[in-house]
Amino acid sequence: MAQGARIYSTDALGIFRAALIKFAESGNSALTSADSDIERVIGWLERDQTTFWAGQVRKRHERVLQLEDAVRQKRLFKDVDGTTKSAVDEMKMLAAAKRAEDEAVQKTVAVKRALGHLRKEAMMYKGRVQKLATTLQSDIPMAVHSLDAMMDHIEAYLQVQSTGQGINLGNSTEQISRAAGSEKVGWERLRDQTPKPDRRESATFTLIGADHPIHQPWKAGVMQEWQAKTLAGLGIERVLPDPDARVVLHPDVWTNGKIYLERMEPTGEADSGWYIGPATDNPTPGDPPAYISVRLGDVIQARPDFKELLGLPPTTLVVLDTGGPIAMFDQLGLDIWALALIKAAEPAPAAETPEPAAAT
Amino acid sequence: MGLEESRGKIGRGMRDLMTLWSSTQVHWNDDNTKNFEDKYLKPLEMDIKVAAGAMDQMAALLSQIRRECE
């Protein structure tokens, strides 16, 4: 029988999720670097060392021939007093030259042998690390989606619990398990709730007066300065649309404790592409709500902190709850907010470790 | 980054990830924790071990080749 769900903080899951993404990225990068190192040594043997030692064999052989000739000359020609000249020095030099030639020949053989051995070992190596490469590229993203689904259901569960409706813990666990196998997971499912272009275009344009409810305090928390700095740390280029460009709002979005902002491709010059609506798993069934279209400048007047978000590029999805941003997704579905939090928590990079000396 | 450094990076990364996993279990500990660990983390650990062994072996070979052929 399934054990009851025992989850005390989705933040911990969020942090682990982000660490998992980071590990997959750094693991992929390490495997690529390792492959490059092997290829570099193969190239070094094929091009540099094969040519170098072949050249050395030729040069050193020529030197041996020169010294053999020198020894011969010494033995052939006698001194004025009729004695044979000493060739001891030339003999020593010849012996050293022959050793050097032998070394070059042995190196040539060693390079050829090493090349064959390394090519064979490189193939075996690739076979042994392939499973890890596949795991990093396929299984980790699945694990991340699984965590997304679980966090999503945990949030929903906690929300239900906090409203006093209550659900069975055992059922909750099963729901979470089911969610782990679901294809559509996490906050990204909110994208399905964003009104389509025709509906956004037909949203009623509303001029915001000073007494408009948009100016009341929003339940979704204001983005704090540290959160703005954290976001800035990602270095994403942000271009704030024209203040007169339109933003489509869910009619009572400011009354929701959890909201989302999604930027789609603008439908025209007057459209910023932004939609802001409640972040709920269970939108009210029935007729679509009476969306309103307002000036982006008016939205920023009501929520000055949104200035940090509304410059984010199309396809961005931002989720906020009462504490500010809790997730941000780019077009690849990557939670850039989690990455930003990790980056912000990292200590300043230490000086680079020098690369090991090149093989050549 | 050379092969030995890559090997170190992967090993350290896995160790840090598992440390974080232990602390995550303080906040999340139920059947799903075990399922998640069995489905994703244990196979990952095994893959890392196999890959690390291969990387160690290859690093030793590269070192030997560099020494013998330079």
Which helix (H) or strand (E) element contains residue A318? strand A317-321
The answer to whether residue B30 neighbours chain A at the CB level (below 8 Å) is yes
pLDDT average, residue stretch A212-240 = 89
Q: Closest Cα of chain A to B7: distance in Å?
A: 7
Closest CA to A335 of A29, A26, A21, A16: A21
* B50 chain-A contacts, CB cut-off 8 A: 128-129, 131-132
What is the rounded average pLDDT for all residues in chain B?
Answer: 90
Between chain A and chain B, the number of residue pairs with CB atoms below 8 A apart is: 157
For A134-193, write each residue's pLDDT tens digit. 899 889 999 999 888 888 777 776 665 555 443 333 344 444 444 444 444 567 788 889
What is the rounded average pLDDT for all residues in chain A?
Answer: 83
pTM of full prediction above 0.90:
no
Closest CA to A325 of A334, A335, A315, A333: A335
Q: Which two tokens stand for residue A130?
A: 């392939």
* B47 chain-A contacts, CB cut-off 8 A: 131-132, 135
Domain that holds residue B54: 3-69
The answer to whether residue B63 neighbours chain A at the CB level (below 8 Å) is no
pLDDT average, residue stretch A7-26 = 83
Are residues B45 and A136 in contact, defined by beta-carbon separation less than 8 angstroms? no
A-chain residue closest to B31, CA distance: A3
Angle formed by the axes of helices A88-134 and B42-69, nearest 10°: 170
Q: Closest Cα of chain A to B66: distance in Å?
A: 6
Angle formed by the axes of helices A10-43 and B3-27, nearest 10°: 170
* A107 chain-B contacts, CB cut-off 8 A: 69
Closest CA to B8 of A359, A30, A20, A348: A30
Looking at A109-118, A284-293, A300-309, B53-62, which range is the least confident one?
A284-293
For A190-224, write each residue's pLDDT tens digit. 888 999 998 998 998 988 888 899 999 999 989 88
Residue A259, pLDDT score: 94
Q: Quick check: A33 and B2 CB within 8 A?
A: yes
Four-residue CA torsion sign, A100, A101, A105, A111: positive
pLDDT average, residue stretch A116-129 = 92
Q: Quick check: A180 and B26 CB within 8 A?
A: no
- A137-172: string of b/e by CB count within 10 Å (b at 16+)? eebbeebbbbbbbbbbbbbbbeeeeeeeeeeebeeb
Q: Quick check: B51 and A31 CB within 8 A?
A: yes
Are residues A17 and A338 in contact, defined by beta-carbon separation less than 8 angstroms? yes
Residue A274's DSSP bridge partners are: A263
pLDDT average, residue stretch A39-67 = 96
Are residues A199 and A288 in contact, defined by beta-carbon separation less than 8 angstroms? yes
Q: Are strands A317-321 and A324-329 parallel, antiparallel or unpaired?
A: antiparallel
Give whole-number Cα distances, A18 to A143, A211, A228, A327, B35, in Å: 11, 42, 19, 11, 19
* A346 chain-B contacts, CB cut-off 8 A: none
A-chain residue closest to B37, CA distance: A143
Q: Quick check: A37 and B68 CB within 8 A?
A: no
Residue A293's DSSP bridge partners are: A205, A248
* A45 chain-B contacts, CB cut-off 8 A: 65, 69
Q: Closest Cα of chain B to A337: distance in Å?
A: 19
Residue A355, pLDDT score: 43
Residue B24, pLDDT score: 85
ipTM of the complex: 0.95
Task: Identify the residue with better confidence: A286 or B20.
Answer: B20
Q: Quick check: B68 and A110 CB within 8 A?
A: yes
Residue matched to tokens 């050193």: A60
Q: Which two tokens stand for residue A353?
A: 């470790």
pLDDT average, residue stretch A348-358 = 45
Q: Quick check: A359 and B10 CB within 8 A?
A: no
Q: Closest Cα of chain A to B15: distance in Å?
A: 10
3-state secondary structure of B8: helix
Q: Quick check: A31 and B10 CB within 8 A?
A: yes
Residue B17, pLDDT score: 93
* B65 chain-A contacts, CB cut-off 8 A: 41, 45, 114, 117-118
Give percent of chain A above pLDDT 70: 82
3-state secondary structure of A219: coil
Residue A160, pLDDT score: 59
Of B6, B20, B39, which is closest to A33 when you measure between CB atoms? B6
Q: Quick check: A9 and B28 CB within 8 A?
A: yes
Q: Which two tokens stand for residue A193?
A: 């709730």
pLDDT average, residue stretch A59-83 = 89
Are residues A271 and A293 in contact, defined by beta-carbon separation less than 8 angstroms? no
Q: Quick check: B43 and A139 CB within 8 A?
A: yes
The confidence band for A344, taking pLDDT boundaries of 50, 70 and 90, is low
Q: Are strands A271-278 and A317-321 parallel, antiparallel or unpaired?
A: unpaired
User: How many separate domains does chain B show?
Assistant: 1
